Chain A
């Protein structure tokens, strides 16, 4: 099984420790992913703004980097959604379609491909509020959504429940968007900030010490809001918890 690791651009720049945790976690399961060195970005910042033409070359580069792997693992549901559902500026050759189909999020890889049944090295004795990235939830179906009448499930929560000590707390609005939205956070700052403030207050009111998510982008925004409000919330990527971070 040839596995590649894609570390999204913002994670590369701001949260390298999440990339490292992902790499180490995969190695614990006997998967040693390759890291194609010329990787940059999935193209979402441009595509999300409607600029598909401007994203074409970035998408082509992505496909060049990740052709030929059985799985391309990404510690971000949002980037996977872009690649799987929206990477259409690049010509849709067989290779491109294969790369798109073989790209999966870390949670999906653990839950659906490796079908892991435990993280014996992990322990996290804290109150955790889990944040669903909207693309992960409603785009690649990490879990059931509150809008729909469907059987309840959550891939990330079923993984977190395998970690000793984790206490999950319930927010008043469990899957409301936090207001990040990529370029939205910059071009609609008023609503973006208000949504972020409401979200972190909801985490805090639920009694959370830690906010955990499979997407660092939402958490960059939420941490910015929580720090500004002076809320004592800490933020961790799910890869860090599953890899055994204790705090």
Chain B
């Protein structure tokens, strides 16, 4: 069990940074004076007598589609993890709702953001060229990468030119797409993640489970275990301040000695050739500003036309993501500082192909806020790693099949199509309609499994013929076997795993109507 942090003369944890110990700002604090209101820092004390092992993600097989249900079952079978995860993300959703209600023009903002993104995507070639010209004029080296492999090679080339052996980086989903860390390790370059959650995941050799809060599926006891194993911390101390400070102490020297820094970008502004990075930990600023070399990997869909458009997105981003009005840091990068070098790698990796898909191009509007994940009842109960893909949750269901249709063919079915995602999306991506559309595409190409498709074919044949249908449900108790089709399509008898079966009635509505002439004849 935790002994708690060492306290100073004010009774505050001695390890806390000075700014964390500043005077009362009106926010809720825990018994030790730590903040409780800041979205990313919020955590509730949850000290089980024995730690529950962290459930791991989907088991990946080379040629088999991801079994989301299997991984979800293991997540749910770890009730402390599942409960924390569901409540934590629901809390973010509620904070987002409160921010939304504080802004009368919220829906107009969403419309505007969607329109700006649609316009930009429709003229993406022009805006990319404008961005490149402006960035070059600002003194930035601009590179283009067709796919993930090319991106990794370009980054490696820049690092090799500078003899860089150690790269510090801030969070970037794009580099998860391209597998940069793994690639650089193979060529002898060490990568250190500076985002706390991402660092936890790196130390645990696990992918991020959420695009904004990468280690949200971990309990503090899991983090204590990882840090004890990798950083040598006290395995019995799972106090969040202790753990955060220990990580800071271990990582800060690495940051100070790094040869190069890497960031992603939330927005790239065409008219100015600048890019903007939004973080809550300031780690992107460290990564970009401490080493002499700054590389930014930017997906081509991150473009917006003008600096004046930025405000629309900044107002929506953190409110949607964490329910906070703005991220702690919104950093604009214009060019290399004196004596330094700045490189931008503009990455396609399937994006221009997606832009040509009439049903799916709207997914490129995504600003990676994670609001769809926070609101998704399936995601909250299965954990991001259960999707076995770079992107999880609703946005993942529509992005992942564009990378590997067969492997991720099951993911569009990991949804109830409830539509909550579409309605929280700050850029109005019709997420649940795209999930629905993906199912159709996958069924057409016979990627939904022959058993399921066979059952649907059989159900379709019966339901199209009234006589067959009536015969099927007339036989004793066979209604349960034949209808509805979701009960027919039940190779695992999975309905009864956690639910009782409905009792079949004495007669169907149809039989009643026939027998009583629609109630006009008195029943005998």
The interface of chain A, by Cβ under 8 A from chain B, is 7, 9-17, 19-20, 23-24, 35, 37-41, 43, 45-46, 48-58, 60-61, 86, 134-135, 137-139, 145-150, 173, 175-177, 179-198, 217, 220-221, 223-225, 227-228
Task: Tell me whether B512 is interfacial, beta carbon within 8 Å.
Answer: yes
Contact B375 A49 (CB under 8 A): no
Contact B473 A13 (CB under 8 A): yes
Contact A15 B505 (CB under 8 A): yes
Task: Tell me whether B417 is interfacial, beta carbon within 8 Å.
Answer: yes
Contact B381 A188 (CB under 8 A): no
Which of B68, B460, B492, B509 is within 8 Å of A51, CB to CB?
A: B460
**Which residue of A has the minimal Cβ distance to B462?**
A40
Contact B417 A48 (CB under 8 A): yes
Across the interface, which residues of A come within 8 angstroms of B48, CB to CB?
none
**Which residue of A has the minimal Cβ distance to B101?**
A149
Contact A20 B499 (CB under 8 A): no
**Which residue of B has the minimal Cβ distance to A147?**
B423
Q: How far is the CB of B521 from chain A (nearest CB, A)?
A: 13
* Residue from the set B86, B444, B509 with the largest chain A CB neighbour count within 10 Å: B509
Contact code string B414-451 (vs A, CB < 8 Å = 1, else 0): 11111110111000000000001011111110001000
* Residue from the set A179, A186, A228 with the largest chain B CB neighbour count within 10 Å: A186
Q: How far is the CB of B469 from chain A (nearest CB, A)?
A: 5
Cα A106 to Cα B252 in complex, Å, equals 64
Across the interface, which residues of A come within 8 angstroms of B507, CB to CB?
16
Across the interface, which residues of A come within 8 angstroms of B416, CB to CB?
134, 177, 179-181, 184, 192, 195
Across the interface, which residues of A come within 8 angstroms of B510, CB to CB?
7, 12, 37
Task: Tell me whether B18 is interfacial, beta carbon within 8 Å.
Answer: no
Instruction: Given the known inter-chain contacts A138-B418, A221-B499, A223-B502, please indicate yes or no for A46 contacting B73, CB distance below 8 A.
Output: no
**A and B contact pairs by CB, cutoff 8 A, 27 listed:** A10-B483, A10-B484, A12-B510, A13-B508, A16-B507, A43-B460, A49-B443, A50-B443, A51-B448, A51-B460, A57-B461, A58-B460, A137-B419, A145-B420, A145-B423, A150-B107, A177-B420, A179-B377, A179-B416, A181-B418, A183-B452, A194-B76, A195-B378, A195-B381, A224-B500, A227-B500, A228-B499
Task: Tell me whether B308 is interfacial, beta carbon within 8 Å.
Answer: no
Task: Tell me whether B229 is interfacial, beta carbon within 8 Å.
Answer: no
Contact A187 B452 (CB under 8 A): yes
Contact A228 B464 (CB under 8 A): no
Contact A176 B377 (CB under 8 A): yes
Across the interface, which residues of A come within 8 angstroms of B420, CB to CB?
134, 138, 145, 147, 175-177
Which of B103, B423, B500, B518 is within 8 Å of A148, CB to CB?
A: B423
Across the interface, which residues of A come within 8 angstroms of B489, CB to CB?
45, 49, 183, 186-187
Cα A11 to Cα B513 in complex, Å, equals 13
**Which residue of B has the minimal Cβ distance to A193?**
B498
Across the interface, which residues of B come within 8 angstroms of A192, CB to CB?
416
Contact B69 A191 (CB under 8 A): yes
Contact A40 B469 (CB under 8 A): yes
Task: Tell me whether B293 is interfacial, beta carbon within 8 Å.
Answer: no
Which of B100, B441, B509 is within 8 Å of A16, CB to CB?
A: B509
Cα A223 to Cα B144 in complex, Å, equals 56
Across the interface, which residues of A come within 8 angstroms of B100, CB to CB?
149
Instruction: Given the known inter-chain contacts A13-B479, A13-B508, A147-B420, please indicate yes or no for A40 contacting B463, CB distance below 8 A.
Output: yes
Across the interface, which residues of B come within 8 angstroms of A145, CB to CB?
420, 423
19 extra interface residue pairs, beta carbon distance < 8 Å, beyond A46-B485, A54-B453: A9-B469, A19-B513, A20-B509, A37-B510, A37-B514, A39-B466, A45-B456, A49-B439, A86-B436, A148-B423, A175-B420, A179-B378, A181-B416, A188-B414, A189-B494, A191-B76, A197-B498, A223-B502, A224-B499
**Which residue of B has the minimal Cβ distance to A8?**
B484
Contact A45 B513 (CB under 8 A): no
Across the interface, which residues of A come within 8 angstroms of B457, CB to CB?
51, 54
Interface of B is mostly: helix
Contact code string B462-489 (vs A, CB < 8 Å = 1, else 0): 0111100100010000010001111101
Which of A14, A56, A184 is within 8 Å of B413, CB to CB?
A: A184
Instruction: Given the known inter-chain contacts A45-B456, A149-B100, A177-B377, please indicate yes or no for A38 contacting B466, CB distance below 8 A.
Output: yes
Give the size range of B's interface with the partner.
35 or more
Contact A139 B419 (CB under 8 A): yes
Task: Tell me whether B301 is interfacial, beta carbon within 8 Å.
Answer: no
Instruction: Given the known inter-chain contacts A12-B509, A49-B439, A54-B459, please indicate yes or no for A40 contacting B413, CB distance below 8 A.
Output: no
Contact A191 B382 (CB under 8 A): yes
Across the interface, which residues of B come within 8 angstroms of A194, CB to CB?
76, 82, 381, 498
Cα A181 to Cα B424 in complex, Å, equals 20
Across the interface, which residues of B come within 8 angstroms of A16, CB to CB?
505, 507-509, 511-512
Contact B485 A45 (CB under 8 A): yes
Across the interface, which residues of A come within 8 angstroms of B419, CB to CB?
134-135, 137-139
Cα A35 to Cα B518 in complex, Å, equals 8
Cα A211 to Cα B36 in complex, Å, equals 36
Task: Tell me whether B333 is interfacial, beta carbon within 8 Å.
Answer: no
Cα A24 to Cα B419 in complex, Å, equals 33
Cα A150 to Cα B512 in complex, Å, equals 43
Q: How far is the CB of B213 from chain A (nearest CB, A)?
A: 20
Which of B104, B490, B519 is within 8 Å of A186, CB to CB?
A: B490
**Which residue of B has the minimal Cβ distance to A56?**
B460
Contact A186 B90 (CB under 8 A): no
Q: How far is the CB of A172 from chain B (nearest CB, A)?
A: 9
Contact B512 A181 (CB under 8 A): no
Task: Tell me whether B22 is interfacial, beta carbon within 8 Å.
Answer: no
**Which residue of B has the minimal Cβ distance to A16?**
B509
Cα A182 to Cα B459 in complex, Å, equals 14
Contact A45 B453 (CB under 8 A): no
Across the interface, which residues of B come within 8 angstroms of A187, CB to CB?
69, 413, 452, 489, 494
Across the interface, which residues of A come within 8 angstroms of B62, CB to CB?
none
* Residue from the set B86, B107, B459, B514 with the largest chain A CB neighbour count within 10 Å: B459
Cα A23 to Cα B516 in complex, Å, equals 13
Contact code string B370-390 (vs A, CB < 8 Å = 1, else 0): 000001011001100000000
Across the interface, which residues of A come within 8 angstroms of B103, CB to CB?
149
Across the interface, which residues of A come within 8 angstroms of B69, CB to CB?
187-191
Cα A194 to Cα B100 in complex, Å, equals 29
Which of A14, A38, A182, A228 is within 8 Å of B479, CB to CB?
A: A14
